[in-house]
Amino acid sequence: MDNETIYKNRFPGKEVLEDKNKVWKVICQFFLQQYVEKDSLTVDVAAGYCEFINNIESREKIAFDINPDLKLYASKDVLTVNDSFFELSNYLKNKKADVVFASNIFEHLDNKEQVIQAIKLFYDNLKYGGRLIILQPNIKYVKEEYWDFIDHKVALTDKSLIEA
């Protein structure tokens, strides 16, 4: 599957990205920032267009994504890693993150075992007392529309995610 083409068609035009960024600025400022200390090392494990990582205040920011255009979207204060988040440990080396942010990624994995592997990986790379923040579509509420996207493979609810 050609994710680059899919996402360019799904989010066409600079104005769409600008509008999304405005929404994320508000989400970060008025909601998510309370979970991210300003002196944190924050990792966005599937940064996409960098809406979260660009708009959150954090001492050190790392954005992971397989999108080869990742650097085009990241602010200057964001270290970009153009690789799978499953390689997170290799890039953090001896560091541990204060915050790992995972938004809309689990539905793209191949199966629920990979979801569990990813969650374990994120926890293994968090400092003691660190935070894993997950934003995820809940199939219980989005129903059939969940499958409107060709790259959605794994369906989760709030309860299945907690169980994982």
Predicted confidence at residue 16, as pLDDT, reads 67
Nearest CA among 154, 145, 77 for reference residue 112: 154
The CATH number of the domain holding residue 137 is: 3.40.50.150
Q: What is the pTM of this model?
A: 0.87
Predicted confidence at residue 3, as pLDDT, reads 56
Tokens 């390689």 identify what position? 87
Total domain count, the chain:
1
What string of DSSP letters covers 7-75? HHHHS-SHHHHHHHHHHHHHHHHHTGGGGS-TT-EEEETT-TTTHHHHHS--SEEEEE-S-TTHHHHS-
| Digitized pLDDT (tens) for each residue of the chain, 164 residues in all | 555 555 555 555 666 678 888 999 999 999 999 999 999 999 999 998 999 999 999 999 999 998 888 999 999 999 999 999 999 999 998 899 999 999 988 887 888 999 999 999 999 999 999 999 998 888 778 777 666 566 667 778 888 888 88
The boundaries of the domain holding residue 81 are: 3-163
Tokens 């059939």 identify what position? 144
